[in-house]
Homo-oligomer: A and B are copies of this chain.
Amino acid sequence: MTKQFFLYLVVAPSLLLAQQKDVTQYVNPLIGTQRMGHTFPGATVPFGMVQLSPDTDTIPYEMNGKYNPDVYKYCAGYQYDDKTIVGFSHTHFSGTGHSDLGDFLIMPTTGPLQLNPGTADNPKSGFRSAFSHANEKATAGYYRVKLDDDNIVAELTATTRAGFHQYTFPKTDDAHIILDCMHGIYNYDDKNVWTFIRVENDTLVTGYRQTSGWARTRTVYFAMTFSKPFKEYGCRDYSKKEVYRGFWRKFDQSRNFPDLAGKQLRLYFNFSTAEGEKIKIKFALSPVSTEGALANLQAELPHWDFEKVRADAQASWNRELNKVAVDASEAEKQNFYTALYHAFQGPTVYMDIDRRYKGLDQNIHTAANFTNYTTFSLWDTYRALHPLFNILQPARNGDMVSSMLAHYDQSVLKLLPIWSHYANDNWCMSGYHSVSVIADAIVKGNTSFDAAKALDACVSTARHRSYEGIGSYIDMGYIPDEKLGTSASTTLEYAYDDWSIAQAAEKLGRQDIYAEFLKRSENYKNIFDASVGFMRARKADGSFKQQFDALSTNGQGFIEGNTWNYSFFVPQNPDALIRLMGGKKKFVAKLDSLFTMNLPDKYFAETEDITRDGIIGCYVHGNEPAHHVAYLYNFTDQPWKTQYWVRTIVSNQYKPAPDGLGGNDDCGQMSAWYIFSALGFYPVAPGANQYQLGSPAIDKAVIQLENGKTFSITANNQGGKNIYVQKAVLNGKPLDKPVLNYSDIMNGGSLVFYMTDKPKK
């Protein structure tokens, strides 16, 4: 028996006790709801299909036929500074910079029936209500708010596939529940393709809503039950042009008519209520059918005990969040557990209780051997979120890869997902980063899926000549500027992705693939302009694009980042990049400039998705392309600068307050960056087995691994100015390089950082 194993036996029982701890007390779902975080404060369980959350406005995507930039604020439906709530809808993205969803808005009201939402400056003009944060409570799995205009307390909780509403009414004969099927996030005139509703009886409503938005062909089915029969109900169709209705005109479809369909439907249900009477609503979703939604409802919510569902939701969060037991300052614990909470919002479960789901081909498939997930924001999440899952959620991560492979099988283009949700690819952003997620899982041996087939899917995707310049990239070694507006950043991303494919191929003994893609992974060199010292868009004739502004993100061949940020994007081979840039000294000076220069305001104005605080020097943490860059000092002789800048980013960019996030959380990527960095290490190149050490921001963390082992991280003397690592000791042995291996973690053990205020120069 080794000492370590003995230690494990001693520690384990206390860890089990630790798992009983209610760490949801540190989760504040309001973090990121102000300004650019784009998180939502509502109720959801980990990776839940239903994310039931208040929406504070209904800004349309277009006004008078033109893009309305204000819509961007409402990517998650909620903005902290707003004074009114229009209702509670069942689907949201967490932290995205474009959006969709917001399905099936429910709003309780009293008094004369109002079927339009009204305006924020005059909430009484519609069914929306004023609210104040003083009367609002958001916790993991539970949300409550008082709706001031109507004197109604709204409470929300959820299961994986169902939302549970509880509305406490005053005494009135004029209580209404509005079901708004027009409402949506990033809404515009033609987005609602079709809505179909059946009022099955006086407590059950079923139907579906079909939209064409970010997801081009998307249908969500529902089943909704009331705890109390409604007195009467009605529907209005707000289509601008009345669709041909033929002999349907026979019926008055506006009142108590149960068979409804159209493009723009809002329904209401009327009740009489006693003082303090609670009307509850169970609202289940399905990607398959109303039958599926009803089965989900019956399976997950067979009773009307709101408090039990709330407690179950909280327990499910505690189960997931206790995978990391953290000692840290109160503020850092809030940051940490909220980051973990946001990291576990998605990808979301996308199948019914019977394992069926609608695929890319719009046919119904069964996920026989895995849980099917959707919402893959891969340009963001391949960087740190999926690598984090390979530690904290390996089973789910394997299922996520299986979901990507099902997507590939169903794709008529035979492409792995780029940015996919609800049986669609929205093709947002660049690269084919599915391959990184798959390669990282293969290299780490976390393969519940068929690894050989997965590698084939990666190769097939990466050889898809007609997709975003891949043909030119293969033929010429870079994408010419003439072919693609993001020719330079996409070339860099492909080169990294190709390296990850090579790693997976090597692991699987496919030398041919390894050689082909390792060679491709060097393509970054082809767009490095030594004359300016930066990556630079290159033309088909081999010359660099004349127009060049290293600070600008516009028209330079990059997306969501200027070449200052992108020129460091060779995560697969920092040593080679350093050589390319003239050696370590020049490289350090360049990194220093990145973090310390003063970016003129005019350049900030063209930076997307972030607040002014989201920028440190010219380093844009609020967007992802440079997320690994602070760790590149580790490849020079000045790792202490990694420690300095990582801690600077941690403290500048993550605060336990509604405005605590400096940029979009991007489906958990920003949070995952924080979690890794707070723990003291980061996956610079997913697909590699190594992490670079940084500077832990917690005092102690114990990671409970799915394999039953634990890995503990201790930061002795951490805090205040003590942000520098004096030494790091793994299982009792000092590390001579700032590198941690995946196996070091997964085998269990301990990593102890000794912190000081003196950089180790």
Q: Chain A interface (Cβ within 8 Å of chain B)?
A: 61-62, 98, 188-191, 193-194, 196, 198-200, 206, 208, 210, 212-214, 216-217, 241, 243-248, 250-251, 256, 258-259, 261, 289-291, 361-364, 411-413, 419, 426-428, 466, 468
Contacts and interface: CB of A to CB of B under 8 A. Distances in A.
Given A196-B217, A289-B362, A362-B290, A61 B244 contact: yes
Q: Identify the interface centre among A246, A261, A466: most chain B CB within 10 Å of its CB.
A: A246
A213 B246 CA distance: 7
A291 B410 CA distance: 12
B412 A213 contact: no
Contact of A246 (B208, B412, B426): B426
A184 to B, nearest CB: 12
Contact of A428 (B190, B194, B247, B413): B247
Contacts of A200: 412
Contact of A190 (B191, B198, B241, B362): B241
Given A206-B361, A413-B259, A190 B243 contact: yes
B364 A261 contact: no
A426 B427 CA distance: 40
A410 to B, nearest CB: 10
Top 3 A-B pairs, shortest CB-CB distance: A247-B427, A198-B412, A291-B363
A427 B250 contact: yes
A363 B363 CA distance: 13
Nearest to A239: B190
A300 B241 CA distance: 42
20 contacts: A190-B244, A193-B194, A194-B217, A206-B361, A208-B362, A212-B243, A212-B244, A213-B244, A216-B261, A246-B427, A246-B428, A248-B426, A248-B427, A251-B427, A256-B466, A258-B412, A258-B413, A289-B364, A291-B361, A291-B363
Contact of A248 (B188, B206, B210, B216): B216
Given A214-B246, A216-B245, A256-B466, 17 more contacts: A98-B246, A189-B241, A190-B243, A194-B210, A194-B212, A198-B412, A199-B412, A212-B261, A213-B246, A216-B248, A216-B261, A217-B261, A259-B411, A289-B362, A289-B363, A289-B364, A290-B362
Nearest to A207: B362
Contacts of A427: 246-248, 250-251
A428 B247 CA distance: 6
A208 B358 CA distance: 15
Contacts of A216: 245-246, 248, 261
Contacts of A194: 193-194, 210, 212, 217
A198 B413 CA distance: 9
A224 B215 CA distance: 26
Contacts of A411: 259
Contacts of A244: 61-62, 188, 190-191, 212-213
Nearest to A216: B261
Contacts of A247: 214, 419, 426-428
Contacts of A413: 258-259
A575 to B, nearest CB: 34
Contacts of A258: 412-413
Nearest to A213: B244
Contacts of A364: 289, 364
Contacts of A190: 241, 243-244
Contacts of A248: 216, 426-427
Contacts of A196: 217, 362
Contacts of A246: 98, 213-214, 216, 426-428
Contacts of A212: 194, 243-244, 261
A250 B196 CA distance: 32
A580 to B, nearest CB: 30
Nearest to A198: B412
A342 to B, nearest CB: 24
A362 B210 CA distance: 13
Contact of A361 (B98, B191, B198, B428): B198
A225 to B, nearest CB: 15
Contacts of A363: 289-291
Contacts of A419: 247
A193 B193 contact: yes
Contacts of A290: 361-363
A364 B364 CA distance: 11
Nearest to A415: B259
Contacts of A206: 361
Nearest to A413: B259
A245 B216 CA distance: 7
A314 B23 CA distance: 75
Nearest to A247: B427
A740 to B, nearest CB: 37
Contacts of A466: 256
A623 B198 CA distance: 35
Contacts of A361: 198, 206, 290-291
Nearest to A414: B258
A411 to B, nearest CB: 8
Contacts of A214: 246-247
Contact of A412 (B210, B259, B426): B259
Q: Identify the interface centre among A61, A241, A427: most chain B CB within 10 Å of its CB.
A: A427
A485 B524 CA distance: 77
Contacts of A362: 196, 208, 289-290
Contacts of A245: 216
Contacts of A468: 250
Nearest to A485: B250
Nearest to A62: B244
Nearest to A200: B412
Nearest to A362: B196
Contacts of A193: 193-194
A427 to B, nearest CB: 4
Nearest to A294: B363
Contacts of A256: 466
A727 to B, nearest CB: 48
A490 to B, nearest CB: 11
A291 to B, nearest CB: 5
Q: Identify the interface centre among A190, A243, A244: most chain B CB within 10 Å of its CB.
A: A244
A715 B301 CA distance: 71
A253 to B, nearest CB: 11
A194 B190 CA distance: 11
Nearest to A358: B289
Contacts of A198: 361, 412
Contacts of A259: 411-413
Nearest to A212: B243
A686 B188 CA distance: 53
A200 B410 CA distance: 10
